[in-house]
Structure 1
Amino acid sequence: MSTPDADGLLAEQLLRLTRRVHRIQKRHLEQRALGITPAQSRLLRTLAHYGEPPRMADLAEALEVVPRAVTTLVDGLEAGGKVRRVPDPANRRVIRIELTDDGRAALRELHGARRSAAEEILAPLTGEQRDTLGDLLDTLVGVVPERGARKRRAC
């Protein structure tokens, strides 16, 4: 059974790992000279999961941030040609956000940067340790993976 001190130590280790992950991902993003911040990267990844262009309010909800934060991110990405604002065909007063071709190309680069960062972070672990870590993280974030999905992804 864990003690409060042990739980506090685990929480501190998780926070330190999170900060390390952010630093490494930021470095990999900077190396690719995309001019995209980690927050913009997250918005692009979120945007890519929508079937039709979402409203800014949808993005704010998905990102768990205030709408003003999304406006600032979209402004920067639009200035860089990665996204564009488009009127909703059903209600011209509603504005939706869609990826541009440059935005899709940036997503491919971002995927490569994230993969490189993950390889660097996970390098000290064996395949079995990675599977165990993945299972533990799934439990902590409340994800129920498809049976055997982690093993298939590793291949």
Structure 2
Amino acid sequence: MTTPDSDSVLAEQLLRFTRRVHRIQKRHIEQCGLGVTPAQSRLLRTLACYGSPPRMADLAERLEVVPRAVTTLVDGLEAGGKVRRVPDPTNRRVIRIELTDDGREALRKLRGARRSAAGEILAPLSGEQREVLGGLLDTLVDGVPDRRCG
């Protein structure tokens, strides 16, 4: 049985763990030398999930951020040649975002960085502990396994 104090301790542990995960992922992303932030990395991964180029509003919804945040991320990635804005073929007023060849290459490198970061983060756990952790995290996130891309 948990008590309010033990719940507070667990919540603090989760917050500390989240900060550790972010620090480790950021370090591994920076080591790629791509000049991409963790948020831009997440946008690239999300963008790769779409079969056809999405609208910025679609990206904002998928990333659970305000559209303005996506605009800022896209601006930075576009300046680095990793994405480009393209007009919608059926409605020229709508702008879609697509990966460039440089963006696909960056995504490949970023996937390696994420695997490396995950290995570092999960190194203290056995395979069985990792399975248990995955189940617990699924339950905490929304009660079902995460089937979203990225």
Query: Normalising TM by the smaller chain, what interval?
Result: over 0.9
Change (3 A) 1:79 1:94: same
- Distance in 1 (CA, whole Å) between partners of 2:26 and 2:59 is 22
- Which residue is 1:153 aligned to? none
- Distance in 2 (CA, whole Å) between partners of 1:66 and 1:136 is 29
Q: How many residues align?
A: 146
- Which residue is 2:45 aligned to? 45
What is the TM-score when the length of structure 1 is the normalising length?
A: 0.91
- Distance in 2 (CA, whole Å) between partners of 1:49 and 1:143 is 23
| RMSD between superposed Cα atoms in Å | 1.2
- Distance in 2 (CA, whole Å) between partners of 1:95 and 1:40 is 19
* 1:113-132 deviation digits (Å, cap 9, x = unpaired): 00000000110111111111
Change (3 A) 1:65 1:145: closer
- Which residue is 1:19 aligned to? 19
- Distance in 2 (CA, whole Å) between partners of 1:104 and 1:40 is 13
- Distance in 2 (CA, whole Å) between partners of 1:137 and 1:60 is 24
- Which residue is 1:81 aligned to? 81
- Which residue is 1:29 aligned to? 29
- Distance in 2 (CA, whole Å) between partners of 1:144 and 1:68 is 30
- CA shift for structure 1 position 145: 4.0
- Which residue is 1:67 aligned to? 67
- Which residue is 2:100 aligned to? 100
Secondary structure (helix, strand or coil) at the match of 1:109 reads helix
- CA shift for structure 1 position 72: 0.7
- CA shift for structure 1 position 144: 2.9
Query: Unpaired runs of 5+ in structure 1?
Result: 147-155
Sequence identity (%) = 84
- CA shift for structure 1 position 143: 4.8
The one-letter amino acid of 2:20's match is R
Secondary structure (helix, strand or coil) at the match of 2:117 reads helix
- Farther-moved stretch of structure 1 (59-68 vs 114-123): 59-68
* Relative contact order, higher structure (CA 8 A, sep 6+): 2
